């Protein structure tokens, strides 16, 4: 009877272990399916499933065959917007997108006011980080036009953002420029 009792105990223990593993797997599967409870004011990022909410969206496929990529680095005191304009002229860039980061000593941002037809200036007269620079290069009335928006951050973590009117690098700014113009346009400057 002792031997039978041991075998029965081992079988019972194995069954309990199998049930515990199965329950743990079931709990883990349910946890993976259900998002965790969040406090009020929080949302979980995830795929956007809503459709039909951008009826004025336009799409234009841009050529990739003529794409060129540049890294433009600005040193201490360099003015970013004039430098990007000069870079585009020298390299025959008529269509591109830009992104960048770095440090600034000063900047002027702008808030677009369509009723007044211009941008309200937002002066930044202190050292800050260029947390995000996004924009485009295009041609307007036969001249290079650099259109950029920036977010700058301060030592307390606060930020300001808007159109980038001017900015001075401190100690440096890195900007990546990816052209979207065709090889013919790049060589002729059209």
Q: Which tens digit of pLDDT belongs to each residue from 46-79?
A: 667 788 888 888 877 766 667 889 999 999 999 9
Q: Which residues contact 150 (CB under 8 A, 6 or more apart)?
A: 107, 109, 130, 132, 133, 134, 161, 162, 163, 164, 167
Rounded CA gap, 169 and 104, in Å? 4
Q: Tell me the pLDDT tens digit for each residue of 138-157.
A: 999 999 999 999 999 999 99
Return the ∠ at Cα 151 (arms to 155 and 84), rounded to 5°: 120
Threshold 0.85, pTM exceeds:
no
Place of tokens 């969206």: 57
Return the ∠ at Cα 15 (arms to 13 and 17), rounded to 5°: 70
Contact 144/94 with Cβ under 8 angstroms?
yes
């Amino acid at each position: 009877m002792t031997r039978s009792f041991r075998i029965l105990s081992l079988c019972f223990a194995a069954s309990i272990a199998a049930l515990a593993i199965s329950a743990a797997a079931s709990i883990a599967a349910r946890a993976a399916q259900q998002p965790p409870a969040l406090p009020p004011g929080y949302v979980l990022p995830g795929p956007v499933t809503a459709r039909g909410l951008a009826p004025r969206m336009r799409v234009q496929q841009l050529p990739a065959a003529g794409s060129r990529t540049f890294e433009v680095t600005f040193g201490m005191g360099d003015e970013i917007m004039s430098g990007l304009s000069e870079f585009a002229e020298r390299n025959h860039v008529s269509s591109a997108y830009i992104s960048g980061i770095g440090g600034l000593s000063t900047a002027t941002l702008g808030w677009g006011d369509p009723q007044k037809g211009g941008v309200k200036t937002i002066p930044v007269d202190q050292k800050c980080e260029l947390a995000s620079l996004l924009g485009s290069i295009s041609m307007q009335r036969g001249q290079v036009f650099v259109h950029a928006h920036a977010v700058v951050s301060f030592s307390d973590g606060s930020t300001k953002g808007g159109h980038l009117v001017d900015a001075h690098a401190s100690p440096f700014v890195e900007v990546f420029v990816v052209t979207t113009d065709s090889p013919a346009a790049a060589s002729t400057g059209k």
